[in-house]
Amino acid sequence: MSEWHIGIIGGSGLYEPGALDGAQEIEVKSAFGEPSGPVTTGRIGGVRFTFIARHGPGHVLSPSHVNYRANIDVLKRCGVTDVLAISAIGSLREEIAPGEFVVVDQLIDRTCQRERSFFGNGITAHVPLADPVCPRLSDQAAKAAGKAGAKLHKGGTYIAIEGPQFSTRAESHMYRAWGADVIGMTAMPEARLAREAELPYALIGMVTDYDCWRDPAEDVDVADILRIMGGNADLARATLVQLAALLPAKRKASPIDTILDNAIVTGRDAWRTEAVARLDAVAGRLLGSFMGREN
Catalytic site residues? 209, 211
CA–centroid distance for 38 within its chain: 16
Residue 180 near residue 159 (C-beta atoms within 8 A): yes
DSSP 251: B
- Give the separation between CA 66 and CA 290, rounded to whole angstroms: 31
Query: Which residues does 193 contact at the CB level (< 8 Å), separation at least 6?
Result: 68, 69, 72, 116, 117, 118
Residue 209 near residue 224 (C-beta atoms within 8 A): yes
> Of 86, 110, 129, 120, nearest to 188 (Cα)?
110
DSSP 215: -
Residue 260 near residue 198 (C-beta atoms within 8 A): yes
